[in-house]
Amino acid sequence: MKYRNKKDYLLGKDSTELEEFAIQFGEPAFRGRQLYCWLYTKRAANFSSMTDLARSFRERLTEDTLISPVKVLTEEYGSDGSCKLLFGLPDGNRVEGVLIPDNERLTACLSSQVGCAIGCKFCATGKIGFKRNLSASEIVGQFIALETAANQRITNVVMMGMGEPLLNRSAVFKAARLITDPDGLGVSRRRFCISTVGWTPGILAMCKSNMRFKLTVSLNGTTDEQRNSLMRFTKRFPLLDVLKAAEKYVHIAKQRVTFTYLLLNGFNDSLEDAHRLIKLVKHIPCKVNLMEYNEIGSEFHQSDKKQTEDFQSVLRSAGLTAIIRTSRGEDIAAACGQLAGGYETNTGK
């Protein structure tokens, strides 16, 4: 499904940009601030509801602009309450986003790219290849669409959907600021997580910025050989360099980092791996999330329950916080590593 237009999209613009936008329309700057409030604080779905804007301005907005570039194509609901939306983008590309309810918490998992260049062997997104980065407008548009589908406020955001967020950090950082603006969408910065396979320049860029979001780094191996065989682009950044960058962010942001470790049967789930992992991260304030592998038809298989629990016990005996993360949304292909936007493997179609 393709839909094209030459209209400007308003989601993704910050307050200053909307002020300049209003001036270009011949309106005073404060109209842009009002527009920001309607778009983000009040989550207005149409211009007719923006009642404190002049009718003539609203008519021009309707004629020349659209609120979001994202259209919901399909909705799927899992047996565990999770929800997956397939989004259509203006150029005909597609991405997916997921809602994960958990008691008082409602987490949105957002995509940052159409496809992914990292090519992780255990991930469905990597198997469709890289198409393009998403704009900040498209990332924020996913958030709004997911919140609308849930009919309740999202409390947590994880950039763990399709793509490597730090390969699109300009758009991701801008979207993150908009989503966590207390005067806008209002998600706490402490509840906004950027996940990476260990793209070191991106982690160092987070260190240099004034952002203090949660950082999650996917290790998935305790040697460079293991990581490189799983995630081919990680060859550019040795494991020790990744850990140094993560440790630097911990000290600057003054919050611990989360290391995720995907357990793969007979590949990286031995107790020897567990002891190596301890040596790698024990000096860094962190927690370790042990992830279950979600089948995508690759060469790997999920570690059995006993091996997973034994791995966790070794980490805990060394004083590490180690949590086994149960997959959510697996029955609708919405779990970690399963998002593919409806594309066929290795075809891009």
pLDDT of 1 reads: 37
- Which residue ranges make up each domain of the chain? 9-66, 71-332
pLDDT of residue 4: 41
Which tokens is 34 given?
A: 């009002």
Q: What is residue 125's predicted lDDT score, i.e. its pLDDT?
A: 81
**What is the residue whose two structure tokens read 């995720």?**
260
What residues contact 317, with CB distance under 8 A and at least 6 apart? Answer: none
Which structure tokens are listed for 33?
Answer: 């601030």
Q: What per-residue confidence (pLDDT) applies to 31?
A: 96
Which CATH number applies to 9-66: 1.10.150.530, 3.10.20.30, 3.40.640.10, 1.10.1660.10?
1.10.150.530
Topology match between the domains 9-66 and 71-332: no
Active site residues: 96, 336
What integer pLDDT is reported at residue 131 of this predicted model?
Answer: 93
- 349: number of Cβ within 10 Å: 8
10-residue averages of pLDDT along the chain (349 residues): 64 97 94 97 95 93 96 93 94 94 94 91 84 97 97 96 96 98 95 96 94 94 93 86 97 96 95 98 97 80 94 98 82 62 57
pLDDT, position 121: 85
Distance CA 158, CA 293 (A): 18
- The confidence score (pLDDT) of residue 332 equals 65
What residue spans of 151-267 are helical by DSSP H? 169-179, 200-208, 224-230, 239-253
The confidence score (pLDDT) of residue 2 equals: 40
Fold for 71-332, please state it: TIM Barrel (3.20.20)
Three-state secondary structure call for residue 259: strand
